[in-house]
Structure formats: C-alpha cells, structure tokens
Amino acid sequence: MSVPTFPSAIAANSPAFKRINRAMVFGGISTFALLYCVQPLMPLLAGQFALTPAQSSLVLSVSTAALALSLLLSSVVSDRIGRKPMMVAAMMGGAVLTLASAFAQDFTQLLVLRGLLGVVLGGMPAVAMAYLGEEIEGPSLGLSMGLYIGGSAFGGMLGRVLTSVLSDFYSWRVALAVIGAAGLYAAWEFRRSLPASNNFRRGDVTHQRGIDALVQGVRAHLADRGLPWLFALSFLLMGCFVSLYNYIGYRLLGAPFALSQSGVGLLSALYLLGIFSSVWAGRLADRLGRRNVLWLFMSVMLSGLLLTLANSLPVIVFGMGLFTFGFFASHSIASSWVGRRAQAPQALASALYLFFYYLGSSVIGSFCGVLWSGAGWPGVVALLGGLLGIAFVIALRLRGLAPLPPAILAPVA
C-alpha cells in the first residue's frame, strides 16, 4: 500500500533528514531523561521521606499522569502555534523544572514540581510524532520514528544511570541538578538543529474552538477500526515496562542480591538494546508490514518477563534485556502505525496514543507498588504477564485489520 505525501516530504539521507533526526535524538534523550531520572531514586526517597514503595512511585506516576492529560491539549495548541515552538518550549520548561526539583524542601513540593514537569513535557512527544508524520516521506517514516524512539531509549537510560551514580557519590539533589542542566543544553541543540515545518498547516480546526476541536477529534479517532486497539496496546505495554523497572530495583537491592544503588541504576544500560531494536524493528516493519511483526516482539517481552522470576542475577539481567528489546520494538511499530493510519487532526491521534501510554505508566505502575508490598515479585510478574497476554491477543487481532483505502488516507499519515 502506497502512502501519498506532500511533494516537499523529506527523503532519507537528505541533509534535512539528517538535521531532523539529529534534533529528534536530542529531543528524545532530553525528554525521557528528565521524565525518568527519578525512577532509580524511589528507594532513596522512600527512606528519606518515610514512604512506602507505592507512595514513592508517585514521584514518577504524578509526572506521567500529568503528561498524559497535557498531551491532548498540547496537540490542539500545536495545531495553532506550530510544532517547533511547542517542542522547544516543552524542552526548556522541563529542564528548568528539573533544576527546581533539586531544591524541593519536602516530598509534597517535589510532587508539585514533578506534576508541573509532566504538564510542560506534554508539548514534546505527540507533537514530535506529528512533526515526523508531516515532514518525512512515508517509506522513510519507520526509520525516522525508530531513531526518535531510540533517542528516547537512550535518554531513559542516561537519566537513570546518571542519577543512580551521582546519588551514590553525592545526593539525589545533585543528581537532579545535573540532569536539569543537561536538559538546557539539549533544548539549545534541538532549537538549533530542527528545520522549520514545511508541511504544517496552522489551524486545521480554525472553525472550532478549543474543547470542541478536541472532543470531535477524539471521537473521530476512536471511531476508527484500528486506532483504539493501538491505543490499548500503548496502555498495556508501557504500564508493564515502567512497572518492571519501578520495582525490580527493590528486589535487587535486597537479599540475596544486595546490589548497590549504582549497580541497580547501571541495569538501565539495557536501554541500549531499545536503541537498536526500535530502529531495526522500524525498518523491518517498513519491509514486512507492521501487522506481521508486532505480535512477535510482544512474545519476546513475555519471555523476558518470565525469566526475571529466576534467583540467578545473570538470568534476571538477560530476561530484562529481552523484555526491553521487545518493548521498544513493539512501541516503535505501534507508534509508527498510528502515524500511518491516522486522519486529521494527526497530532491528536499521536497525543491519544501517548495519553494511553502514560496513563498505563501511572495506573499500572502505581498498582504494582501495592501488589509488590503484598505479593512480592511473583505477584508483580503474574499481573504483568496477564496484561502482556491481553496485548498479544490484540496484536493478533490487528493482523486482520483491513488497510484504509488510499483515497482516504491522510496525505501525511
């Protein structure tokens, strides 16, 4: 199936393509370093502020919940003011709020700042997906989206590793200050590198107002036969992924493993597998079709999850690697599928995908904290395994999804 594009759509290997990908790698790294840098700090915060694991998980869950809600409004705003200004403001604001978090006087202040960070960062992920869908030609979109998600994987890894090591040698406050300063530099590089939009058309919904545009756009996307299933996948996959990394640290810090804070943080280096798998899976999906490979990578996730039940550290690490590889490959395929299938407003379709993505992170991630306290790691694995089973069934269902007729495909989908 060929996807029509604007005549000015950017092809792979062109100078503009390289500039876009350079900027998006910086954007992905910064956004996800700022968002997830607190994840390995949860046991430290629990000790300092006398919190349960479920309570300490709020330092991440409040950000992802705020981000989920912000994404929907940000997509509407970006349709009016433009993609690049929205993304630059999001990156700059997120860096400043992370710097401020380093000076929080109590856990309540920290939660407020982290909530504001989620609101501000909402101007980046969905808008970035929409920008790529508008500017990159269809045959190259999978590669470009994979590179962006690869940058996100590296950012998630970098934020976790840096905060773990710095908190071991200094404090969690120093760690957050360093991440915030790095975020300011990334925002400058992003603004300098990213070309202005050529195919963006301001005011696709100029005859409507704010909430009306949002409601009608949501209804249109939920009426599609494929998009709601992709949204459900984003909820399940991200919820499982963030939950594994939220609570595996509690297990490995305790007996019989007794790893250090830095040791647990270094496990985030497994995110490097996500950089490879997201790009490789994007190319594979461009060649073989998304419906033919999505279910396969979810099988890899489930296999890795089950291996984390072992009492051998090498086996657990290997299982985490498989799980991480499968997650980023699945996310790359599903997110690019939304970009290919969505009709106008495309930014809202990307926002809905990420709304459920981060909602899953908050809901499943917080609930697993309660489950960890009551049933330990086997209980967490049982829940996540069941959720991945549901995701696998959805992926199989999507294999029978009829493609949209070329005549009604959005020109930038």
pTM: 0.75
- Residues 263 and 251: beta-carbon distance below 8 Å: no
How high is the mean pLDDT of the chain?
A: 83
- Residue at 207 is within a domain: no
Verify cis geometry, omega within 30 degrees of 0, for the bond prior to 345. yes
CA distance 247 to 367: 11
Q: What is the pLDDT of residues 370-379, one digit of tens each?
A: 888 888 899 9
If one counts the domains in the chain, the total is 1
The more confidently predicted of residues 307 and 277 is: 307
Rg from Cα positions in the chain: 20
Confidence of residue 342 (pLDDT cuts 50, 70, 90): low
Q: Which residue type sits at 251?
A: R
Q: What is the pLDDT of residues 220-242, one digit of tens each?
A: 888 888 789 999 999 999 999 98
pLDDT at res. 335:
80
CA distance 125 to 127: 6
- For the cut 70, the answer to whether the pLDDT of residue 6 exceeds it is no
Nearest of 12, 237, 19 to residue 142 by alpha carbon = 12
- Residue at 168 is within a domain: yes
DSSP string, 114-140: HHHHHHHHTTSHHHHHHHHHHHB-HHH
Which residues, 6+ apart, have CB-to-CB distance to 237 below 8 Å? 298, 301, 327, 330, 331, 334, 357, 360, 388, 391
Percent above pLDDT 90 for the chain: 32
- Residue at 202 is within a domain: no
pLDDT at res. 127:
82
Structure tokens at 120: 């501000």
- Residues 164 and 265: beta-carbon distance below 8 Å: yes
CA distance 263 to 251: 12
CA distance 60 to 110: 11
- For the cut 70, the answer to whether the pLDDT of residue 273 exceeds it is yes
CATH of the domain at 84: 1.20.1250.20
Nearest of 165, 187, 186 to residue 174 by alpha carbon = 165
- Residues 366 and 245: beta-carbon distance below 8 Å: no
- Residues 132 and 148: beta-carbon distance below 8 Å: yes
Which residues, 6+ apart, have CB-to-CB distance to 213 below 8 Å? 76, 79, 205, 345
pLDDT at res. 119:
93
Give the 3-state secondary structure of residue 10.
Answer: strand
Domain that holds residue 151: 15-196+213-401
Exposed / middle / buried, residue 31 (Cβ in 10 Å: 0-12, 13-18, 19+)? buried
- Residue at 361 is within a domain: yes
- Residues 316 and 261: beta-carbon distance below 8 Å: no
- Residues 173 and 31: beta-carbon distance below 8 Å: no
CA distance 154 to 220: 34
Residue with tokens 């996800």: 32
pLDDT at res. 400:
65
Q: Which residue type sits at 364?
A: I
Q: Which DSSP category does 229 fall into?
A: H
Mean pLDDT across the stretch 355-368? 87
Where is average pLDDT lowest: 40-44, 97-101, 376-380? Answer: 40-44
Q: Which residue type sits at 235?
A: F
Instruction: Indicate left, alpha or beta for 82 from its phi (over 0: left) and psi (-120 to 50: alpha).
Output: left
- Residue at 72 is within a domain: yes
- Residue at 392 is within a domain: yes
CA distance 185 to 64: 23
- Residues 306 and 335: beta-carbon distance below 8 Å: no
DSSP string, 83-100: HHHHHHHHHHHHHHHHHH
Structure tokens at 97: 């709020």
- Residues 37 and 159: beta-carbon distance below 8 Å: yes
Confidence of residue 3 (pLDDT cuts 50, 70, 90): very low
- Residue at 5 is within a domain: no
Instruction: Indicate left, alpha or beta for 10 from its phi (over 0: left) and psi (-120 to 50: alpha).
Output: beta
- Residue at 412 is within a domain: no
Mean pLDDT across the stretch 115-127? 88
